[in-house]
Amino acid sequence: MSTPGRGLHGRVLDTLGPAITAGEYPAGSVLRTDELAQRFEVSRSVMREAVRVLESMHLVESRRRVGVTVLPECEWNVYDPQVIRWRLAGSERPRQLRSLTVLRSAVEPVAAGLAARHATAEQCAELTECALGMVANSRGHRLEEYLFHDVAFHRVILTASGNEMFARLGGVVAEVLAGRTHHDVMFEDPDPAAVTLHVQVAEAVRARDAERAERLTREITEGALQELDILAP
Amino acid sequence: MSTPGRGLHGRVLDTLGPAITAGEYPAGSVLRTDELAQRFEVSRSVMREAVRVLESMHLVESRRRVGVTVLPECEWNVYDPQVIRWRLAGSERPRQLRSLTVLRSAVEPVAAGLAARHATAEQCAELTECALGMVANSRGHRLEEYLFHDVAFHRVILTASGNEMFARLGGVVAEVLAGRTHHDVMFEDPDPAAVTLHVQVAEAVRARDAERAERLTREITEGALQELDILAP
DNA sequence: CCGGAATAAAAAGTCAGACTTATATGTCAC
DNA sequence: GTGACATATAAGTCTGACTTTTTATTCCGG
> What are the residue ranges spanned by the domains of chain A?
8-75, 93-227
Phi first, then psi: what are they for B63, rounded to 5°? Answer: -130, 145
Q: Is the CB of A30 under 7 A from strand D?
A: no
User: Does the predicted model carry a pTM greater than 0.85?
Assistant: yes
Residues present in chain B in total: 233
β-pairing verdict for B30-31 and A60-63: unpaired
Whole-angstrom CA distances from A155 to A116, A130, A173, A193, A208 are: 14, 10, 8, 20, 18
- Which of B2, B118, B164 is most worth mutating to test chain A (most A CB atoms within 10 A of its CB)? B164
Rounded-to-integer distance, Cα B168 and Cα B149, Å: 18
Q: Which residues contact residue B80 at a Cβ distance below 8 angstroms, ignoring those fewer than 6 apart? A: A56, A77, A79, A80, B57
Cα distance from B223 to chain A (closest Cα, Å)?
16
Rounded-to-integer distance, Cα A11 and Cα A3, Å: 11
For the four alpha carbons of B125, B127, B129 and B132, in that order, the dihedral sign comes to: negative
Residue nearest to nucleotide C22 (CA to C1'): B64
Q: Is the CB of B10 under 7 A from strand D?
A: no
Fold entry, domain B92-227:
Four Helix Bundle (Hemerythrin (Met), subunit A) (1.20.120)
Fold entry, domain A93-227:
Four Helix Bundle (Hemerythrin (Met), subunit A) (1.20.120)
Angle, helix B93-118 to helix B210-227, in steps of 10 degrees:
170
Question: Digits of tens for pLDDT over chain A (233 positions)?
Answer: 566 668 999 999 999 999 999 999 999 999 999 999 999 999 999 999 999 999 999 999 999 999 999 999 999 999 999 999 999 999 999 999 999 999 999 999 999 999 999 999 999 999 999 999 999 999 988 999 999 999 999 999 999 999 999 999 999 999 899 888 887 655 678 889 999 999 999 999 999 999 999 999 999 999 999 988 765 44
Element (H, E) at A70: strand A67-70
So what CATH class is A8-75?
A: mainly alpha
Same fold, B8-75 and B92-227: no
Under a CB-based contact definition with an 8 Å cutoff, are residues A121 and A215 in contact? Answer: no
Rounded-to-integer distance, Cα A54 and Cα A40, Å: 16
Q: Which residues contact residue A197 at a Cβ distance below 8 angstroms, ignoring those fewer than 6 apart? A: A216, A217, A219, A220, A223
| pLDDT tens sequence across B207-226 | 999 999 999 999 999 999 99
